[in-house]
Amino acid sequence: MRRKIFWIVVVVVMLGDASAWAQSANVNAAMQITEARKANAALMRQYTWNSRTEIIEGGQVKDIRIELVNYGPDGQLQRSLINDQQSRMPIGFLRRAVAEAKKEQLENYLIGLRGLIEQYTMPTVGKVLDFMNQAATSGPDANGLFQMAGNNVVVPADSFTVWTDARTRQTRRVQVTTFFQGDAVNVTATFETIPSGLTYMSYAEANVGAKELSVQVQNFNYSRPN
């Protein structure tokens, strides 16, 4: 009987040690991921890049614009329009005026929506980094990725999941369900790393079902100005 009790105690202690080790490993991984994200944010401020935004409404492409993007002295993103391919405006003063008003309304909506997407996808210090400092990691999975998931990260009732390379601690994929001006928004984004070590969002798509609106963003041509 004593021998049986002894082995039960041993198993309980071992399970406790394994649980503590796993918890410690998760905490260390989370700390390393946040530090890598901070370093990546600092590195990104040295770069200029191109961003291509395609706006699709009701299944039709309404606008394709390419911008030159960089961080300004105030730490905010600056955008310079390089090319803009808008859909044709209707002929006729009244129809044209209505179309222009709708276009301005849509553009203001998209500027705000893009800003929200950037809060989830850019490596700058913000609510996502605060979440990562406290989040538990799971994995790595078969693809060598850690996963963090949570709710109420940027706006109330949102859900946020990020997959991070277990080896480099760099972001590889993000999936978000969030809300903007009362509309549900689903966002998916993928990330790439260039030889300098900079990790950036290469492609993102945001879908607003209530408005039959899709915004697709591609970032490319990252370079350091001389």
Q: How many domains does the chain have?
A: 1
Q: Residue 35 is part of which domain span?
A: 2-223
The 8-class DSSP code of residue 141 comes to -
pLDDT of residue 83: 78
Q: How many CB atoms lie within 10 A of CB 189?
A: 21
The answer to whether 187 and 176 are in contact (CB under 8 A) is yes
What does each of the 226 residues of the chain score in pLDDT, given as a tens digit? 656 555 554 444 444 443 443 344 455 777 888 888 889 999 999 999 999 999 888 888 888 889 999 999 988 899 998 977 665 544 444 444 445 666 677 778 888 888 899 999 988 768 888 888 778 788 789 999 999 999 999 999 999 999 999 999 899 999 999 999 999 999 999 999 999 999 999 999 999 999 999 999 999 999 997 6
Hey, which bits of the chain come out as E strands? 48-57, 60-71, 77-86, 145-151, 159-165, 171-180, 183-193, 199-208, 213-223
What's the predicted TM-score (pTM) here?
0.78
Rounded Cα–Cα distance for residues 27 and 166 (Å): 13
Conformational region of residue 67, where left means phi above 0, alpha means psi within -120 to 50, and beta covers everything else: beta
Domain CATH number, residue 37: 2.50.20
Backbone phi and psi for residue 10, each to the nearest 5 degrees, phi listed first: -60, -45
